[in-house]
Amino acid sequence: GLSATLPNYEDVAVFMRVDIKKGLYHFGAHYRPVPLEQEYIGVKEKKAIKRFNTMNEVTYEKVMEKAGKKQVLVFVHSRKETAKTARAIRDLAMQNDTLARFLQDSPASREVLQAEAEDMQTPEIKELLPYGFGIHHAG
């Protein structure tokens, strides 16, 4: 089976050698209780570090458009980049004094996040959870 948010699910099914008539099930936007918004942005920078920084800055700006209003999920292509991207967004939020938009303004909320973070086995989650960031990469 395939569980992903892809506009080209048929292409992926062909690539995975799935019988489109028997083994492909597509659950479109009408199955979602809350509509999904997707936005694709291209970055043309050739140098890796500049490209990484530009992508993180753009991602931060896009996240800030929704932060404090709605939940935000950012898809990243690799496990290593997932934690790096979350750290970059956190660091930019700290630099711009916008971190409060990721957390409820209550000591109890912060205490819960801190306590949960201490129980985590994954160092990245332990580091990021107190700031209101969770990460997951299935790959």
What are the structural domains, with CATH classification, of the chain?
Answer: 1-38 (no CATH), 44-131 (3.40.50.300)
Calculate the alpha carbon distances from 59 to 8, 42, 66, 102 in Å: 23, 11, 11, 14
SS3 6: coil
Report the predicted TM-score, pTM, of the whole model to 2 decimal places: 0.74
Q: Per-residue pLDDT for 36 more than 80? A: no
How does residue 118 score in pLDDT terms, banded at 50, 70 and 90? very high
Cα dihedral 63, 67, 73, 79, rounded to 10, equals 60
